[in-house]
Structure 1
Amino acid sequence: MKNNLFHKLLLLAFAGSVFTACNQSGGQEVSTPTAGNVVVTADESFQPIIESQISTFEGIYKRADVEGKYKPEGEAMNDLLNDSTKIVILSRELTETEKAAFEKKKRFPKVTKLAVDAVALVVNKSNPDSLLTMDQVKQIFSGTTTTWKALNSKSTLENITIVFDNNNSSTARYVRDSLTVSKKLPGNTFASNSHKALIDYVAQNKNAIGVIGVNWISDSDDTTAVNFTKQVKVIGISTDPNPATTESYYQPYQAYIAQGTYPLRRNLYVINVEGRAGLGTGFVSFIAGDKGQRIILKSGLVPATMPVRVIGVK
């Protein structure tokens, strides 16, 4: 009797060791908040900050494998709706139609605000008109102002060319929703298909004005951001229709985004439909936590949960 029991226990132990070895070598490791595999799909505008978050997270949690995929906003949301990804990072929350689609599937997305971001406008280095009022910005993107001379009678520049990274990007949607009346972009608009191509085009064409997520130019320690800012000028914007001095204009610096004085602000959200406490949920918690928020602070964006100290210098 005892001999039979011993053999049964030995058989169970052997089976368990085979299952564990198979699971760790040939099979996929069970996802936990700090281990496993997960795909995170993010709006292309936020690629620099998300890559920094992934690198730090994987450096801390050695058994975590987070794959970042970067797409235009519309494609990223389609991936979430089609179950191609469980985590998306966007500059907007869900629409009522999207909420209804998830409710129909009995899925309940968790939306977490991660940061306050901004949209930057950039022009050629030779363009003297690097200060614009919000009224002028709206005229440009509504198509009522199509020449630089209409903004400045002394300008020697010609027709304005508006450049986006992608027609389906979050920056294009932001402009349509916030800066136009018809929700349509004017005819003098085109897409460059990448952020680098956008910067290169503006750097080579004196009549161009580019629209880019500030994350691509805000981190002074990032070589790509530093290189981008060397090639173009970042426009200062005033909400005052008749500014008396240049002090009324604000560029998308972190302090001005935090204070609300830079007008082209937007929020950064993560939408999680993982449904359980897997690696995706662990990664989201990391970004929203102390270490992740410090990375956001360093990048030049405004953390959602960490106060930003603004020091006045006279």
Structure 2
Amino acid sequence: ALREFVDRFGVPVFTTLNGKGVLSEVGTDLPRVVGSKGDTPANEYIGGCEVVLYAGSKMGDKSTNQYAWPSPGQFLVRIDHDPEIEDADPEHGCLLREDVADGLKLLSDALGEWSYAGPRPSAGTAGDWSKTGTASLVATVNAELSDRDVCVGEASVASGWFGALLRLAPPQRLITPRGTGSLGYAIPASVGAAVARPDATVWTLVGDGGLTMSVGELETIARLGLDVKITVLDNGRLNLIDQHAIHRHGAAAVSRDFHRIDWPALCASIGLPVMACDDPDRDAPEIASFFSRRGPAVLVLDTSVDEVSPDMAIAIRKVH
């Protein structure tokens, strides 16, 4: 229903993090993620719109860029059948208390022959995150994805990287804990995804902080031989928390005294194939070859504490 609506009226469309992949993101001028786990150009475009249509989103803090919209001058059209949502002020919005598909059909009937003729997002515009390192790794994942693959992003910066740079086409899926849920989510979720879609490869992006909270599930993945490809962003820190401490509160980093874990040795001791890398741009062919074999594999990516993820770039920009 959403695809038909967008094709009929030519409306620029964006998704939230959890809505990512509902429409194909492969190609140019296609859906991008908005909000705290999206990218700055998408957020700026939404901020300049006169009318914003939200279909099925609960419009929490992450999907509205910390409630940056609807702004006072925007008209909000919202489709949702949640009985707890309050009716909109008719001067500032309209609530269609319907299932999303039914609501889009009603809206299509009302719009008739209308078509969108306003400005469109700038094609190819990128945010101000670090363009090497993890960004290169996600580009490799994009190139290796096949029809029914599932991607799993840990809370924190992993969800930010996948939200802004991962390119999905249905029925590919992204699973995350809304981007900033509890650490330790990604590895157990990867086990579930691999069991649910045994014909698919599961691509998992997890920080070293999140992995310390779910390291036992690596044994499950090894023992069952699940086709889970794990990339560990290893900087020996809880870096998003450190960056918030520095940029939002003017304080010192809070995780500088953490012991550095030897993840390649730990994964090898469990029986997992493991590769260490400090330059995914240079090693992209080797990484693709490493991940091409069926079954589990772990890439330990040595990342800089100065690397800026897409969501970190948004947070820093808000402060400064």
Structure 2-normalised TM-score?
Answer: 0.25
Task: Decide which structure has greater helix share.
Answer: 1
Larger RCO, structure (CA 8 Å, separation 6 or more): 1
Which structure is larger by alpha-carbon Rg, 1 or 2?
A: 1
**TM-score, length basis structure 1:** 0.25
